[in-house]
């Protein structure tokens, strides 16, 4: 049987109960890194085959959906599954240590880490290598031009690149490199590899790609990629028996250029570079 519970009614002389104001709303402090999520999109995997990098693999699993969404927002293109991200061990003591690798046509990305590798560096490498796979997907094959490949992948990193090197922006960084006499022309031949030189080369090409897209649009940029790409016979499935890929040893920075710039933009790479650098002086 239900029991009736009388409700107390205050008399006219009863003081009202004090009301505790709600706590003030505090806006969340923006994190230095993007917010993390737990669920991986279907068809994407993050693997730690050696079992030595559980912490980093866990971080990458949570970050991957965020980076995928950011790349789509930044480029207007969606990276489709399947894809495997493999966490492996960096080559310690290498003055030009490879931080990541995207296998052409294989839908596999390798991230090379050590026990003290900053998470911001892992995030940058993840965004960079995913951008390589996205570029191959859109272009229909592997893009071998260093300016197109590394320029796009570094440009696509966007917000993840400054987290690592604390840059002020691609264009401003190139201005500073030129003022310091440290600018490396896009058409310069292969140079001995160290991380500082490689980062300068990648940043300069990212600034050039950014200018090219903002000046001439995405349609012409992707057309140049499609013309330049080496067909891979469609998008291959990731290998079931995952190969253990050690980080390659680089002694010189790649300088290969095969893109038909004049065919798409009506100017050679040298002429386009001069026009871009002139815009930095305006």
Residue 241 lies inside a defined structural domain of this protein = no
Give the tokens for residue 253: 């920075």
CA angle 66, 151, 250 (to 5 degrees): 100
Together in a domain, 274 and 152: yes
Q: Do 89 and 245 form a contact (C-beta atoms < 8 A)?
A: no
Together in a domain, 48 and 135: yes
Residue 9 lies inside a defined structural domain of this protein = no
Together in a domain, 278 and 165: yes
Partners of 84 in beta bridges: 45, 108
* Tally of domains within the chain: 2
Together in a domain, 277 and 155: yes
What's the domain range around 202? 144-228+252-282
Together in a domain, 213 and 124: no
Residue 14 lies inside a defined structural domain of this protein = no
The confidence score (pLDDT) of residue 78 equals 98
Q: Where are the alpha helices (DSSP H) in the chain?
A: 54-75, 119-139, 146-157, 160-165, 170-179, 195-216, 218-228, 261-265, 269-280
- What's the start-to-end Cα distance of the chain, in Å? 86
The confidence score (pLDDT) of residue 65 equals 97
Question: Long-range contacts made by residues 6-9, C-beta under 8 angstroms, separation at least 24?
Answer: none
Together in a domain, 170 and 272: yes
Residue 55 lies inside a defined structural domain of this protein = yes
The confidence score (pLDDT) of residue 28 equals 34
Together in a domain, 177 and 256: yes
What DSSP state is assigned to residue 47? E
Residue 67 lies inside a defined structural domain of this protein = yes
Q: Do 130 and 68 form a contact (C-beta atoms < 8 A)?
A: yes
The DSSP string of 18-49 is: PPPPPPPP-PPPPPSSPPP-SPPPTTEEEE-T
Residues in the chain, total = 282
Distance of CA 129 to the CA centre of its chain: 7
Q: Do 208 and 151 form a contact (C-beta atoms < 8 A)?
A: yes
The confidence score (pLDDT) of residue 3 equals 38
What DSSP state is assigned to residue 19? P
Give the tokens for residue 20: 């505790």
How far apart are the C-alpha atoms of 233 and 237, rounded to whole Å? Answer: 11
Task: Give the number of other CB atoms < 10 A from CB of residue 118.
Answer: 11
Together in a domain, 118 and 55: yes
pLDDT tens series, the chain, 282 aa: 443 333 333 333 333 444 444 443 333 323 334 444 557 999 999 999 989 999 999 999 999 999 999 999 999 999 999 999 999 998 887 777 889 999 888 899 999 999 889 999 999 999 999 999 999 999 999 998 999 999 999 999 999 987 555 667 999 999 999 999 999 999 887 777 788 888 899 999 999 999 999 999 999 999 999 999 976 544 445 555 555 567 665 555 555 788 999 999 999 999 999 999 999 987
Residue 242 lies inside a defined structural domain of this protein = no
Together in a domain, 150 and 282: yes
Q: Are strands 83-89 and 44-47 parallel, antiparallel or unpaired?
A: parallel
pTM score above 0.85: no
Query: Final residue of a domain: which of 96, 120, 139?
Result: 139
Together in a domain, 161 and 272: yes
Selection from 236, 263, 191 nearest residue 199 by Cα: 191
How far apart are the C-alpha atoms of 103 and 181, rounded to whole Å? Answer: 35
The residue with tokens 């896009």 is 186
The confidence score (pLDDT) of residue 38 equals 57
């Amino acid at each position: 049987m239900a029991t009736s519970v009388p409700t107390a009614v205050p008399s006219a002389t009863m003081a009202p109960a004090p009301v505790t104001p709600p706590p003030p709303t505090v806006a969340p402090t923006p994190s230095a890194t993007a917010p993390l999520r737990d669920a991986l999109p279907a068809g994407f995997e993050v693997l730690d085959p050696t079992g030595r990098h559980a912490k980093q693999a866990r971080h990458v699993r949570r970050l991957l959906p965020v980076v995928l969404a950011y790349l789509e927002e930044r480029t207007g293109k969606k990276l489709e599954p399947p894809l495997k991200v493999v966490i492996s061990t960096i080559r310690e003591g290498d003055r030009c240590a490879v931080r990541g690798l995207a296998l052409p046509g294989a839908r596999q990305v390798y991230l090379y880490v050590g026990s003290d590798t900053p998470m911001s560096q892992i995030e940058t490498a993840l965004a960079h290598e995913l951008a390589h796979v996205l570029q191959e997907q859109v272009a229909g094959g592997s893009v071998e031009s260093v300016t197109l490949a590394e320029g796009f992948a570094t440009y696509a990193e966007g917000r993840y690149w400054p987290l690592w090197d604390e840059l002020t922006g691609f264009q401003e960084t190139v201005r500073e490199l030129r003022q310091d006499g440290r600018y490396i022309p896009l058409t310069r031949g292969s140079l001995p590899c160290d991380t500082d030189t490689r980062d300068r080369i990648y940043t300069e090409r990212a600034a050039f790609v950014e200018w090219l897209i903002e000046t001439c649009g995405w349609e012409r940029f992707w057309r140049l990629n499609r013309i330049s790409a080496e067909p891979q016979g469609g998008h291959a499935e990731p290998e079931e028996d995952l190969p253990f890929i050690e980080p390659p040893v680089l002694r010189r920075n790649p300088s290969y250029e095969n893109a038909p710039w004049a065919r798409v933009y009506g100017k050679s790479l040298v002429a386009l570079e001069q026009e871009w650098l002139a815009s930095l002086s305006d």
